[in-house]
């Protein structure tokens, strides 16, 4: 019952409020990311971060495999 009430309130409030100002919420979520944001993000890391992430992922998978039995 609470799910239905919550959904009804969410839809009702959504229809009663104006649409968001997309210039104000730019870069807030993945959907509102601009090309400049993507370029900045891609320029902020290099092969060392990728290698470190791969090492951490390998350690997690190794630990899971070892303790899983």
The model's pLDDT over 16-50, given as tens digits with 9 standing for 90+, comes to 999 988 888 888 888 888 899 889 989 999 999 99
Confidence check: pLDDT of 6 > 90: yes
Nearest to 41, CA basis, from 51, 19, 49, 69: 49
Q: Which helix (H) or strand (E) holds 5?
A: helix 2-16
> Residue 28: phi, psi to the nearest 5?
-85, -35
Residue 29 main-chain phi, psi, to 5 deg: -130, 175
pLDDT band per the 50, 70, 90 thresholds, residue 53: very high
Q: How far is CA 55 from the centre of its chain?
A: 22
């Amino acid at each position: 019952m609470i799910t239905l009430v919550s959904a009804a309130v969410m839809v009702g409030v959504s229809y009663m409020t104006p649409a968001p100002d997309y210039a104000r919420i730019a870069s807030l979520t993945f959907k509102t990311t601009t090309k400049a944001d993507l370029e900045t993000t891609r320029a902020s890391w290099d092969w060392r971060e990728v290698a470190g992430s791969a090492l951490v992922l390998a350690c997690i998978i190794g630990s899971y495999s070892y303790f899983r039995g």
